[in-house]
Amino acid sequence: MFSLLVLNGPNLNLLGTREPEVYGYETLDDIVTHLSKVAEEVGSTITHRQSNHEGELIDAIHAARGVHDGIIINPGAFTHYCYALRDAITAVNLPTIEVHLSNVHAREAFRHHSVIAPVALGQITGLGSSGYEWALRALVRHLQKKR
């Protein structure tokens, strides 16, 4: 049984309400509900947190130490410039998978670079909401191998 922290960054609370052509029609609640079911299926649990504030995400990452086994994070636009978020992930030393709904490489140039990716176990981008599910399955498999 693994305990996973799922974090979503700025503006992702708006999912399902605007720009569905980019981010899909599902709300964040829809995504988290599905993810909870997948977690149960693989004998794990998730704790979800969305914040529009850098410091809150950093605090949640710090608090994950000794509580959660791994992190799934969609850092939103923080992905591209937030070194403090990257440092927090490095500091807690928990396996972390970065997820993006859209294919960041097919979008504006500023989205092509992630400051998070080098400290992440891996990155999933462009697969829509299913990216969270693949991240969860991959993280659980990674944790099982480490046991």
**Residue 2 found at the interface with ligand CA2 (CB under 6 A):** no
Site for ligand CA2 in 23-52 (CB under 6 A): 23
Q: Which stretch binds ligand CA2 (CB under 6 A): 32-40, 46-54, 73-81, 135-143?
A: 73-81
SS3 of the chain: the string is: CEEEEEEECCCHHHCCCCCHHHHCCCCHHHHHHHHHHHHHHCCEEEEEEECCCHHHHHHHHHHCCCCCCEEEEECHHHHHCCHHHHHHHHHHCCCEEEEECCCHHHCCHHHCCCCCHHHCCEEEECCCCHHHHHHHHHHHHHHHHHC
- Pick the catalytic residue: 34, 53, 80, 100? 100
Q: Among this protein's residues, is 23 annotated catalytic?
A: yes
Q: Contact with ligand CA2 (CB under 6 A): which of 15, 57, 58, 73?
A: 15
Binding mask 99-118 for ligand CA2 (x = CB under 6 A): -xxx-x------x-------
Cβ–Cβ under 8 Å, residues 51 and 57: yes
**Site size with ligand CA2, rule: CB under 6 A:** 16
- 81 noted as active-site residue: no
Among the listed residues 5, 12, 64, 140, the single contact to ligand CA2 using CB under 6 A: 12
User: Under the rule (CB under 6 A), what is the footprint of ligand CA2?
Assistant: 11-12, 14-15, 18-19, 23, 74, 76-77, 79, 100-102, 104, 111
Catalytic residues: 23, 100
